[in-house]
Amino acid sequence: MKEVNITELERMFQEKIDQDIKIEPKDWMPDDYRETLIRQISQHAHSEIVGMLPEGNWITRAPNLRRKAVLLAKVQDEAGHGLYLYSAAETLGADREDTIDDLHTGKAKYSSIFNYPTLTWADMGAIGWLVDGAAIMNQVPICRCSYGPYARAMVRVCKEESFHQRQGFEIMMTLAKGSPEQKAMAQDALNRFWWPALMMFGPSDGESKHTAQSMKWKIKRSTNDELRQQFVDVTVPQAEMIGLTLPDADLKLNEATGHYEYGEINWAEFWEVVKGNGPCNKDRIDTRRKAKEEGQWVREAATAFAQKRAARKSA
Amino acid sequence: MNQAHVDFVLRIADDSLILGHRLSEWCGHGPVLEEDIAMTNIALDLIGQATSLLSHAATLQGEGKTGDDLAFLRFDREYRNLLLVEQPNGDFGMTMMRQFLFDAYRTILFERLQSSSDEMIAAIAEKSLKETKYHLKHSSEWVIRLGDGTEESHARIQESLNTLWRYANELFYTDAVDDEMRNTGILPDLSDLRQQWENTVNHVFQEATLTIPTNNWKQEGGRKGMHSEHLGYILAEMQYMQRAYPNMEW
């Protein structure tokens, strides 16, 4: 009897999805749907939070007051994104503290791009332009995701990301038309971030274990390779426009398809970084863990104070 | 150019810039995500104030310099900020205590400067006062929460107060610059500044169950360009790009 009910519920659930009716927190949903969303949303939240570190690295060294303020605002936006993504995951029953513990133990993943170091000021440009650019490609389709709270969070996130991307491109443009040292700095940043940016879309469709089911549930609306292609097609002309060269000898426009063909991605490197062996994986997680440990007494004090205050009120 | 006028603006500007720099060091390292956002927000307000004030100082100076020139190309001995704001972040309690002692002073200063005869200062003060009132609310709430929280938090924040108290007296430092500013109406009457500040501070410390240290050890010198050893490192970091790559657009 129970079996029949679940099958029926699943059928009705898929029907709603097919009709583009949003799933809300209190609606029935298959366990796998819930788990997939929790995994994806918390990974996304962790990426925002870990992503604060490589850019935070340059706030105190920004070259002028305007750039400093813009970078501060950008990193603050990322903290805000993290906050509402953790909240979206909480609507599915994932406690924020538990989710964060999963990040610290290495159980949960985050975008592998943040495991690369930011070595020069130009990296702030490259990250804004390429990393936020790739993030937008990934996230715009999620604004139409079947899960209501995630879709709505993403609408707001995307608006801010597009501002981030513009400011990153503007940094690169300024450097590219600056002194020879500045142009070299911009080219070097592009060389280092181009391939990791392409990897941000995840493994090729054939290798991606979650894609088919996620597409059926409309958690995902395009495949990894489709999004990657879209990103390359948009970015190549932008690089040309500011006179920088993409570090890919195989890159060429296919006149027949109208798409750019690009060289082989180093998937061995990608998997190494995902496994925790990138240049900054250890530093990033150690930093987050340290922030949590050193903040323990502050959180305890806040809780104790709130309890005292409540007790005094009721006394 | 009136040197006292420029110095007066630089003193306020440098307080904002250096404290903003210190707070921005927290970005990504806060005890909870909400505080990462709050501290970044306060840093952003302070950098914004510094930008307006430094640009005003550069105009008054009339040497064709920009606000950025004043931020990135002055040396330690030319900086005019309080010693308090350049002190290291320490733990979160130390940062909140530093902020609270400063905010309590800044709120009164900006309230009064709204009627400055220098219209630019008056306008900046009016805008900054709104921000500073929020900063004061935030920092005083944390001082109370940590003071009256757990045994550990009480001990820690009391220790922060003991450490920072020696820099509090400098908040009321005055010299010929202030005299001249008062005579020209740029600086409104601040004779009750200490009294007003003590009212706020005593009230919050009482609620926080904290004790004001009895030692009378007072440090000052920032207003005259005599700083602690910390400022040199702040500037080395902050000015790195402008020093390494002079005269470029960014």
A15-53, pLDDT tens digit by residue?
999 999 999 999 999 999 999 999 999 999 999 999 999
Chain B contact for A87, CB < 8 A?
no
d(CA B172, CA B166): 13
Any idea how long chain B is? Answer: 250
d(CA B203, CA B103): 14
Quick check: is B26 in a domain?
A: yes
Is it the case that residue B193 has pLDDT exceeding 70?
yes
Quick check: is B109 in a domain?
A: yes
CA of B145, closest CA in chain A: separation in Å?
Answer: 6
Quick check: is B216 in a domain?
A: yes
Q: What is the DSSP secondary-structure string of A142-173?
A: GGG-SBHHHHHHHHHHHHHHHHHHHHHHHHHH
Test mutation, A167, A183, A305, chain B, max B CBs within 10 A? A305
- The tally of domains found in chain B comes to 1
Helix count (H) and strand count (E) of chain B?
11, 0
Test mutation, A48, A52, A58, A64, chain B, max B CBs within 10 A? A64
The whole domain housing B44 covers: 3-172+186-244
- With a CB cutoff of 8 Å and minimum separation 6, the contacts of A19 are none
CA of A301, closest CA in chain B: separation in Å?
Answer: 4
d(CA A48, CA A156): 14
CA–chain centroid gap for A308, Å, is 39
User: Percent of chain A scored above 70 by pLDDT?
Assistant: 99
A65 and B54 in contact by Cβ < 8 A?
Answer: yes
Nearest-CA neighbor of B224 among B16, B80, B83? B80
Handedness of CA A66, A70, A71, A76 (dihedral sign): positive
Quick check: is B135 in a domain?
A: yes
Reading the block at residue B167, the tokens are 């820099």
B210-243, pLDDT tens digit by residue?
999 987 779 999 999 999 999 999 999 999 999 9
Quick check: is B57 in a domain?
A: yes
Is it the case that residue A121 has pLDDT exceeding 70?
yes
CA of B221, closest CA in chain A: separation in Å?
Answer: 24
Quick check: is B181 in a domain?
A: no
A76 and B44 in contact by Cβ < 8 A?
Answer: yes
Quick check: is B93 in a domain?
A: yes
B24 and A59 in contact by Cβ < 8 A?
Answer: yes
Chain B contact for A45, CB < 8 A?
no
Quick check: is B178 in a domain?
A: no
Reading the block at residue A274, the tokens are 């995902």
Mean pLDDT of A106-131: 96
Q: What is the DSSP secondary-structure string of B48-93?
A: HHHHHHHHHHHHHHTSS--HHHHHHS--GGG----HHHHS---SHH
Strand-pairing partners, residue A147, are: A23
pTM for this predicted structure: 0.96
Asked whether A57 and A154 are in contact (CB, 8 A), the reply is no
Q: In which band, very low, low, confident or very high, does the pLDDT at B15 lie, cut at 50, 70 and 90?
A: very high
Between B58 and A161, whose confidence is greater? Answer: B58
| CATH number for the domain that contains residue B38 | 1.20.1260.10
Asked whether B97 and B160 are in contact (CB, 8 A), the reply is yes
Is it the case that residue A80 has pLDDT exceeding 80?
yes
pLDDT on residue A2? 56
d(CA A43, CA A128): 20
User: Percent of chain B scored above 90 by pLDDT?
Assistant: 98
B33 and A86 in contact by Cβ < 8 A?
Answer: yes
Asked whether A22 and B6 are in contact (CB, 8 A), the reply is no
pLDDT on residue A206? 86
Of residues A63, A291, A304, nearest to B30 (C-beta): A291
pLDDT on residue A207? 86
